[in-house]
Structure 1
């Protein structure tokens, strides 16, 4: 079961009423239970629910109420997992992984090039050891974790950090760079690990998925950038590469 399906079930359980897939997606992103780097999470949510209904019929977790509107199937029947069902679910999961992989890897290469332009000896890690990029400047090492998101239809950028990874690498020379992609334009929110820790304590960043991860929602409002809500203005960290020193 992929995170889109899990998120939809959880949101519909809480709502106790049918919802459009746009609303399901928005609530899942804002609550931090949906982890995705895809370009269009609303479209993916609709596809995942639709495939579940089309392949499983009465055995689906969902029913279609109207065009784009879904509810939980309270009369769900037990069905056998046929090869057709397994293949359809696998295909949707692969689409999600591939789309997120392109965006995530693109963000890493983008940040790496920005560091190189600024005189860092930077390279993308071949093996996932908790940081995406290693960078050296003036004989000092920096570990860079890159997270990339496109602006969604709610004018928000949604990110996730694994709690285990953050706890392990919460040191002074670790930075989190959030790549904010709006069309062909990119901005960078550059956060030292101690600033991330501070924002967790201030509840601007909140725990999700049974305390196994952190959700970060970034938004621009009235030409200012905020993390979480408008109590946490983050303009100082926007495109401020001089913080990495």
Structure 2
């Protein structure tokens, strides 16, 4: 699909949904592969809507800010605060962002554009002062100024997504990360069908459950959505590939514990088999061919 075809399809959708203020990902999904080619040609839905001369949501509009302005904003925010800004400083800013964007800058942009806030600061050439100093290395090792102490599982979420992307490519999907956090992490196209994936990692040495946010689950759920649980141990990676309707069935049957704002899925490995309570999960293990 060429760039102009993407624009034409967006205009067609806008006409079909003229009672709505703006298009969202839900409407875009109705045209096969449109989400993928929006990402290819425009990176974000906000950019694509802007190119088509169509209005966008506040979130989509916030995505239009350039990388250069994001970095300049960080540097100016540091000058204003007197120390290196953290996530909560960006969230609390009510004035400075207006110099760079019509909409409030969201900190997750730094994750999708630069790989995180710390990396963005490095790109901007920023140095930490004492109040904002951060260090690195695991506990017990020597530190170097300007780096940060992080537990290894801090990296595992991003690593899990990269694992899934690689596997999808190996299985001949055209796959890419979804840059805005809307409850889904990856979209992929194969045989003219578009699929969406939420990736969750599970450290098998940790007894905590996999958490699915209720609002995200209900908003993004459909027949072409899959949940991929990357089960991590020190020397092995396993993938449980679960269709949305199966996860929904687990919730209705009480296999997933319901909390006020989330569902908890406790996956254990017993006698070499993965289980959710009494439900055996090995049928979903590495079943990439069942994504269709």
RMSD, aligned CA: 2.4
Q: CA offsets per residue over residues 62-90 of structure 1, 9 Å max, x none?
A: xxxxxxxxxxxxxxxxxxxxxxxx99xxx
Q: Structure 1 residue 219: deviation in Å?
A: 0.9
Deviation at 1:235, TM superposition (A): 1.5
Residue of structure 2 in register with 1:15 after alignment: none
Find the counterpart in structure 1 of residue 189 from structure 2.
136
Contact 2:182 2:216 in 1 (8 A): no
TM-score by length of 1: 0.56
Q: 1:159 aligns with which of 190, 210, 217?
A: 210
2:285 is the alignment partner of 1:238: yes
Question: Secondary structure in 1 aligned to 2:209?
Answer: strand
Deviations 1:3-58 (A, max 9, x none): xxxxxxxxxxxxxxxxxxxxxxxxxxxxxxxxxxxxxxxxxxxxxxxxxxxxxxxx
Query: Are 1:150 and 1:181, in contact at CA under 8 Å, matched by a contact in 2?
Result: yes
TM-score w.r.t. the length of structure 2 is 0.47
SS in 2 for 1:167: helix
Residue-pair matches, total: 149
Q: Deviations over 1:152-179 (max 9, x none)?
A: 25xx463111000000011000000000
The verdict on how the C-alpha distance between 1:218 and 1:144 changes in structure 2, with shifts beyond 3 A counting, is same
Are residues 127 and 101 of structure 1, via their aligned partners in 2, closer, same or farther at CA, if it must alter by over 3 Å? farther
* Structure-to-structure mapping, 1:196-215, within 5 angstroms: 196-208=247-259, 211-215=260-264
User: Are 2:202 and 2:210, in contact at CA under 8 Å, matched by a contact in 1?
Assistant: yes
Q: Which runs of 5+ in 1 are unaligned?
A: 1-85, 88-93
Q: Is the 8 A contact 1:176 1:191 kept in 2?
A: yes
Report SS of the residue matched to 1:226: strand
Q: Does 1:223 align with 2:223?
A: no
Gaps of at least 5 residues in structure 2 are 1-130, 133-147
Structure with the bigger percentage of strand:
1
Deviation at residue 99 of structure 1 after TM alignment: 5.0
| Residue-by-residue CA offset, 1:120-151 (whole Å, 9 max, x unaligned) | 00011222122100100001000000001211
**Cα distance in 2, alignment partners of residues 219 and 100 from structure 1:** 18
Displacement over 2 Å in runs of 4+: 98-101
